[in-house]
Amino acid sequence: MTLPRAALALPAVCLLLPIALSAASPSDPSESGRWAVLTGGPIVAGTAEVNPIGTWWYSPTSYFQKTADGKYVDINTESVGVGLGKHLGFNASVPVIPFPTQNYYQQQQYWFKWQINSDQNTYKFLSLPAFGMETRFVDEGGDDKEGLFLLSHKRFKPFELYAQFGAYSHNPIQNAAGTPRTLNGAVLNYALSFEDVLNDAHGAGFVIEAFGQNQSNFSFYGKTNVPSWEYFSIAPELEFDWPNEPSFALAWEAGVFIPVVAHNYLYGYTPMITLVYYFNWNDRSRMSN
């Protein structure tokens, strides 16, 4: 079963529509300041903003996903993000299991983010959203790859929208002497998230995510010699904050990944729980992932 093309077009529509209509929604003088409540936010889709300089966050996440070759990967197990200033940020994610089995990928990710702008008018849906770009470096059990992503984040109280669209390029894998290299195709990655904040003071609400990946039959390094694959999932999540102090806040989140479409990809229902520790968070806005 193949993934409908419309699903791949949704992130682009989410990114471009607010820009085209931004002139139609001038700021309301009665609205003072930005609405930037602190929440756990989506787990899969990243946000376009970076941490303010002097702030940082730490997030242990527990969930596993079964991949196309029948192995398990811990996608975002122990992460940290710091603000570098000048609209730049650095994030890192490493696995927490110290002794993985042969059926487990030790996935590590490192990425730099550049925040292009911020969504100053956070009460109007048709005003300009925030945009950001990321460069990612991933080591997944010897399978190295690099990615480039475009992200968007739009607040319009009490809702938030996130969109993420990008691609990974696999490096060739050198096998034993006398055997051909393993050459994977380019991986297209996309995610959309809708968040409804029901209570500002406690960051309570829910998130619905839709996301997927597609590995093609072509590569920047030549003709691939592995099958293509794809999947598409949704994930409902619940969130709340406690405690929530200016110098320290803790966001709690739980949900489940639900498979919708898969082709040459094996995975199932996956429960997860996430904690995000925010330090020196004077801005009160979520800028993780």
pLDDT at 280 over 80: no
Q: Assign 17 a pLDDT band (cuts: 50, 70, 90).
A: very low
Residue predicted with more confidence, 85 or 19:
85
Domains observed in the chain? 5-18+41-98+111-279 (2.40.160.40)
Phi, psi angles (nearest 5°) of residue 12: -65, -40
- Write down the pTM of the prediction: 0.82
pLDDT at 283 over 70: no
The pLDDT tens digits for 130-175 are 999 999 998 876 678 899 999 999 999 999 999 999 999 988 887 7
The pLDDT tens digits for 244-276 are 877 788 899 999 989 999 898 877 777 888 888
Average pLDDT over the chain reads 80
> How far is residue 164 CA from its own chain's centroid?
7
Structure tokens at 94: 């490493």
Residue predicted with more confidence, 79 or 127:
127
pLDDT at 78 over 60: yes
**Amino acid of residue 171:** N
Residue predicted with more confidence, 238 or 28:
238
DSSP E strand boundaries for the chain:
56-62, 65-66, 72-73, 78-85, 88-94, 104-105, 107-115, 130-140, 143-156, 159-170, 187-199, 204-215, 218-219, 222-223, 229-244, 248-263, 270-279
- Positive/negative CA dihedral, 73, 112, 285, 85: positive
